[in-house]
């Protein structure tokens, strides 16, 4: 067994796929500090920079002082407290659903959704680029996993037709795809779901807080009532941690009763729950900030395309710059670091082979440095990397 582990590690190193964690003294703010050097942060999911907002920090600190550092148990035992209920009430109103339930992470939420709603009699139709937590949730459920080509509605229809006799069907999609920054075809998906009598589950991890005046992509399109299960995270634009699932009463009550990652895990500590609540309130009050970020992302994408960079189908604050080869993306990352920018280098298996990319996560608090970002990419282009 140990020889096998050594061999696998060596293989990862040989293929430039070995992962290590950068040593950072700060990672979520406008600047990251790596080995004592400061870089503009274009790699974190703190898209709106809300971790810096005083009232959100203060709400979190107050909760620690009032309620302590831990929740002490799962929600079902003693780990429930009033700000938790308030967060769920506020989330349900914000999402315009009957109820909402908070989970310990987006990963845990997706495990609970699929492993409790689906079983071996279910077929789950899932976009090929859906997040790993959706894939793991489906695997755990024992359902038939039917993967359709990314955003290919003809393929989805064909697969629904092929499995039309399966009684229980779910269509699952990210709304904003995390490594491509493109969006799902939600109009077509809800129409197909209605035609084939399938439940729809959407993962709004990268849309929540930004699209639809913060409510999400389904709301941006006015489709929220036609989606059954809305999942989103507090860990990205909301600058906190944890996730929500919003939907009708039966779905939420069912997840509370059957979601093992919900039931058998200590609930989030008060500092986190209070930060999520304060952040949600902040987005409700400042509902135009997501739109502002999107406009700036359009401008940056336009500049990158003019230079000849391939930003794939991105239409969001996530802008991939396709470099293809693993070695090339690592060189590009180092080049940009020398110019003071910290941009993530994403390689397989996170993305398909031969599509290694830089992934720019644009954020509201770096917009005053757009010129610097553009000129660093101009120099990257000239470098011939």
Ligand X SMILES: Cc1ncc(COP(=O)(O)O)c(C=O)c1O
Positions that interact with ligand X (CB under 6 A): 105-107, 110, 131, 133, 174, 178, 203, 205-206, 233, 235, 243
Q: Give the nearest distance from C-beta 131 to ligand X in angstroms.
A: 4
Pairing of strands 168-174, 199-203: parallel
Closer to ligand X by CB, 241 or 377: give it: 241
Pick left, alpha or beta for residue 362 (phi over 0 → left; psi -120 to 50 → alpha; otherwise beta). beta
Q: Give the nearest distance from C-beta 107 to ligand X in angstroms.
A: 4
Q: Give the nearest distance from C-beta 318 to ligand X in angstroms.
A: 9
**Angstrom distances, CA of residue 191 to CA of 95, 147, 186, 263:** 20, 18, 8, 34
Closer to ligand X by CB, 110 or 151: give it: 110
Closer to ligand X by CB, 116 or 235: give it: 235
Closer to ligand X by CB, 196 or 232: give it: 232
Q: Give the nearest distance from C-beta 5 to ligand X in angstroms.
A: 26
Q: Give the nearest distance from C-beta 41 to ligand X in angstroms.
A: 17
Closer to ligand X by CB, 81 or 238: give it: 238
Q: Give the nearest distance from C-beta 58 to ligand X in angstroms.
A: 23
What are the structure tokens assigned to 175, written together?
């709304």
Q: Give the nearest distance from C-beta 132 to ligand X in angstroms.
A: 8
The closest residue (CB) to ligand X is 106
The tally of CA atoms less than 13 A away on the side-chain side of residue 213 is: 10
Closer to ligand X by CB, 75 or 131: give it: 131
Q: Give the nearest distance from C-beta 130 to ligand X in angstroms.
A: 7
Closer to ligand X by CB, 110 or 326: give it: 110
Closer to ligand X by CB, 71 or 316: give it: 316
Q: Give the nearest distance from C-beta 285 to ligand X in angstroms.
A: 23
**CA 158 to CA 153: how far, in whole Å?**
8
Closer to ligand X by CB, 2 or 19: give it: 19
**CA 171 to CA 199: how far, in whole Å?**
6
């Amino acid at each position: 067994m140990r020889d096998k582990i050594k061999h696998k590690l060596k293989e990862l190193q040989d293929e430039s796929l070995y992962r290590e964690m950068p040593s950072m003294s700060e990672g979520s703010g406008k600047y990251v500090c790596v080995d004592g050097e400061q870089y503009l942060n274009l790699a974190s999911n703190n898209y709106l920079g809300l971790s810096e907002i005083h009232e959100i920090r203060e709400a979190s600190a107050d909760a620690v002082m009032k309620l302590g550092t831990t929740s002490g148990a799962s929600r079902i035992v003693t780990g429930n407290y009033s700000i938790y209920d308030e967060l769920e009430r506020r989330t349900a109103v914000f999402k315009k659903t009957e109820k909402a339930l908070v989970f310990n992470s987006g990963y845990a939420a997706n495990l609970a959704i699929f492993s409790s709603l689906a079983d071996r009699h279910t077929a789950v139709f899932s976009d090929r680029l859906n997040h790993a937590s959706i894939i793991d949730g489906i695997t755990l459920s024992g359902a038939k996993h039917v993967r359709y080509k990314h955003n290919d509605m003809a393929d989805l229809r064909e697969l629904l037709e092929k499995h039309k006799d399966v009684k229980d069907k779910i269509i699952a999609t990210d709304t904003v795809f995390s490594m491509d920054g493109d969006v799902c075809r939600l109009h077509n998906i809800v129409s197909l779901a209605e035609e084939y009598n399938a439940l729809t589950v959407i993962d709004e991890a990268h849309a929540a807080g930004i699209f639809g005046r913060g409510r999400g992509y389904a709301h941006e399109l006015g489709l929220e009532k036609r989606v059954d299960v809305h999942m989103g995270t507090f860990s990205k634009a909301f600058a906190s941690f944890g996730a929500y699932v919003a939907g009708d009463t039966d779905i939420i009550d069912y997840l509370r009763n059957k979601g093992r990652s919900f039931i058998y895990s200590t609930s989030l500590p008060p500092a986190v729950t209070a930060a999520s609540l304060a952040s949600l309130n902040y987005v409700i009050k400042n509902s135009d900030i997501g739109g502002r970020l999107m406009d700036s992302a359009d401008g940056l994408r336009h500049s990158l395309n003019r230079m000849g960079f391939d930003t794939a189908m991105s239409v969001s604050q996530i802008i991939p710059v396709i470099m293809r080869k693993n070695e090339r993306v690592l060189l590009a990352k180092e080049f940009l670091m020398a110019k003071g920018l910290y941009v993530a280098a994403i390689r397989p298996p996170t993305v398909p082979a031969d599509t290694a990319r830089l992934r720019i996560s644009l954020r509201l608090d770096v917009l005053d440095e757009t010129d610097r970002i553009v000129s660093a990419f101009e120099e990257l282009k000239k470098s011939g990397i």
